[in-house]
Structure 1
Amino acid sequence: MSELLTANRIDEIGALGSASPDPAALVTELVGAVDEGRVADPADTGYALLVAADILKQAGDLADALALASRAIAEQPDEDAYARAVRGGLLLRLGRADEGIGELTALRPRLETDPDATYLIDELAESGHTETAVEWLTGALDAILERTRSQPHESEDAQDAAAAMIYGLAQRRHDLRAELGLPHDEYDNLADRLRAASNHALDALDDGPATLLFWPQAEFDALLLRWPALADSYPTSWDEHRAQLERALVDASGLGGADLGVVAGSVDGLAVFAQEAGSDPTDEETLDGYADSLDEAGVTAWPPGRNDTCWCGSGSKYKKCCLPRSRG
């Protein structure tokens, strides 16, 4: 029997894409595994078809890519939102604007609730509908901010999720408006403020291996309680803290950073380090020195595999946890 197609192999093929010397062979490998029932995890069937569709799209074969996206929807109708977005984008590229916009519009409400739904914006922008993408992002921000104002007693988890989504949507909107040459507005100013608040994480990066200091949830809460002055350097919630680090790591990777990772800190450890160094535990240099002092054996390499446990310690798979936080 032929070898099973694993999630890691699908990831490898997706990374190669149309840059492979023989992209057609990669498409054949993916589709063949689906046809023959050789996908190791049946839940990855749609993923395999969509990676094949993406390779064909990059190669300019939009009609066959559309057929595979439609098949991915039929294979896994209960988890078809991303596949439907891909199909919508392909319809737009094929000049079938009414069908494409219709497909994407049906998914538009997800922008207000699903942090991963910015794939809708990608499909619009990449198919030349950037103004519509900006309009949808503005509407989603309006809705989320209104929800947070009208429901002040939401759970902490709900508030954290809303904060992370506001960050991602505002940054994406800011970038698209810059491409269109539009002047700054209120949401652009918000995006700038939020980005500035997260830039401290990038300060730890240099031209070589880079490890960012990460505070597990209990330690993060204890950190701000013990040293309130750090509220100026860190966000107010742990969820946004891990979202900032994920985005910082993505940024570093895009700038050519290698050997990226996170290392978990502890409040007691920082206190001891600062005392021995005779320094202020809230000082940025102290925090950087503390991160450098931590045992290399405690570094968690980034990024994990899509189906591996997320680096943040939540226990969830990376693809369901912090990976979507980078897509803002």
Structure 2
Amino acid sequence: MSELLTADRIEEIGALGLESPDPAVLVAELVGAVDEGRVADPDDTGYALLVAADILEQAGDLADALALATRAIAEQPDDNAYARAVRGGLLLRLGRADEGLAELTALRPLLETDPQATYVIDELAESGHGELALEWLTGALDAILERTRTHEHESEDAQDEAAAMIYGLTQQRHDLREEQGLPHDEYDNLADRLRAASTHALDALDDGPATLLFWPQAEFTALLLRWPALGDSYPASWDEHRAQIERALAEASGMGGADLGVAVGTVARLAAFADRAGSDPTSEETLDEYADSLDEAAVTAWPPGRNDTCWCGSGAKYKKCCLPRSRS
């Protein structure tokens, strides 16, 4: 029997993309594993198909990319909003405007409830519908702000969700209007104020720093082998480690945090740091101090652009790597 297709391999293929001498072989590997039931984690089935669709889209084969996105929706019907957005964008780029807009319009309410649903706007903007994207962003902000005015006594969780919505939507709207050369309006001014004030917002968070300590895959394995006691502080797998980092940064961003990033650690440097300080390398205090000691070269800004290489070092695009996989 052929090997199982792991999440790491899916990401490796996504990173190779068109840089491979034969992208069709990569697509065949992904689709073949799905067809033969060889995806190691069944929850990654839709992910594998979307990575294959992305490779085909980059190659200009929009029709086949659409077929794979449609299949990803069918394979994982309970968690398909992102796949539906991809399908909607592909339909728009194929000239099937009515179908594409219908698909994305059905997802529009997510802009008022899900801080990560900006992919809906991305698909609109990338398909030449920037004006409509701005209209949807404005409508979502109007609705959320009205909701906060009429429900002043909502729970703390509801207030945090509203704050995350407002911050994220104003920033995306601001950037999109700037790209289109439009003058500032009231929401743009709000975006500027929120961004300027965001460096102070992290002070209100219980979980402090704007930069979180992250271990690349090889270093994560070496870390737990050298200091097994850290197994109580870190998740069992590297995949969950980076997902935790992504979720924490997304939460901080939703609360208005700015200048966020990941401090990339190495086992050798942690050991040397602890030795110099005469401290326990497995203590939380030592780990925090080690992260603070890292210079700018070891810090990766977060978040990257959706089409930029993911911050975790997988080599895949952010939108195909940690962004969608951290939402579970």
Q: What's the TM-score once normalised by structure 2's chain length?
A: 0.66
Q: What whole-Å deviation, never above 9, does each CA across 1:246-274 have from its counterpart, x for those lacking one? A: 8634xx68xxxx8389xxxxxxxxxxxxx
Counterparts of 1:2 and 1:294, CA distance in 2? 46
Counterparts of 1:16 and 1:246, CA distance in 2? 33
Counterparts of 1:180 and 1:173, CA distance in 2? 11
Deviation at 1:198, TM superposition (A): 2.9
Q: How does 1:70-219 map to 2 (within 5 A)?
A: 70-199=70-199, 212-213=210-211
CA 40–301 in structure 1, closer or farther in 2 if over 3 Å, else same? farther
Is the Cα–Cα contact under 8 Å of residues 167 and 254 in structure 2 kept in the other structure? Answer: no
Counterparts of 1:195 and 1:50, CA distance in 2? 33
Query: Counterpart of 2:252 in structure 1: which amino acid?
Result: H
CA 143–245 in structure 1, closer or farther in 2 if over 3 Å, else same? closer
**Number of residues of Structure 1 aligned to a counterpart in Structure 2:** 248
Is the Cα–Cα contact under 8 Å of residues 53 and 66 in structure 2 kept in the other structure? Answer: yes
Query: Counterpart of 2:22 in structure 1: which amino acid?
Result: D
Counterparts of 1:245 and 1:151, CA distance in 2? 21
Q: What whole-Å deviation, never above 9, does each CA across 1:222-269 have from its counterpart, x for those lacking one? A: xxxxxxxxxxxxxxxx986354698634xx68xxxx8389xxxxxxxx
Unpaired segments ≥5 residues, structure 2: 202-208, 214-248, 267-284, 301-310, 315-321
Deviation at 1:295, TM superposition (A): 3.2
Unpaired segments ≥5 residues, structure 1: 202-210, 216-237, 262-289, 307-317
Q: How does 1:37-56 map to 2 (within 5 A)?
A: 37-56=37-56
CA 160–304 in structure 1, closer or farther in 2 if over 3 Å, else same? farther
Is the Cα–Cα contact under 8 Å of residues 91 and 100 in structure 1 kept in the other structure? Answer: yes
- Aligned match of 1:294: 289
CA 148–62 in structure 1, closer or farther in 2 if over 3 Å, else same? same
Counterparts of 2:119 and 2:64, CA distance in 1? 21
Counterparts of 2:264 and 2:45, CA distance in 1? 31
Task: Between 8-17 and 185-194, report the one with greater CA deviation.
Answer: 8-17
CA 19–165 in structure 1, closer or farther in 2 if over 3 Å, else same? farther
Deviation at 1:69, TM superposition (A): 0.6
Counterparts of 1:171 and 1:3, CA distance in 2? 43
Q: How does 1:262-281 map to 2 (within 5 A)?
A: none
- Aligned match of 1:248: 259
Deviation at 1:16, TM superposition (A): 2.4
CA 13–320 in structure 1, closer or farther in 2 if over 3 Å, else same? closer
Is the Cα–Cα contact under 8 Å of residues 260 and 301 in structure 1 kept in the other structure? Answer: no
Q: What whole-Å deviation, never above 9, does each CA across 1:141-194 have from its counterpart, x for those lacking one? A: 111111111111111111111111211111111111111111100100011111
Counterparts of 1:155 and 1:85, CA distance in 2? 30
Task: Between 190-199 and 164-173, report the one with greater CA deviation.
Answer: 190-199
Bigger RCO (CA 8 Å, 6+ sep):
2
CA 92–80 in structure 1, closer or farther in 2 if over 3 Å, else same? same
Identity of aligned residues (%): 72
Q: What's the TM-score once normalised by structure 1's chain length?
A: 0.66
CA 91–130 in structure 1, closer or farther in 2 if over 3 Å, else same? same
Deviation at 1:297, TM superposition (A): 10
- Aligned match of 2:264: 259
C-alpha RMSD of the superposition: 3.6
Counterparts of 1:11 and 1:245, CA distance in 2? 30
Is the Cα–Cα contact under 8 Å of residues 52 and 68 in structure 2 kept in the other structure? Answer: yes
Task: Between 138-147 and 74-83, report the one with greater CA deviation.
Answer: 74-83
- Aligned match of 1:287: none
Query: Counterpart of 2:131 in structure 1: which amino acid?
Result: E
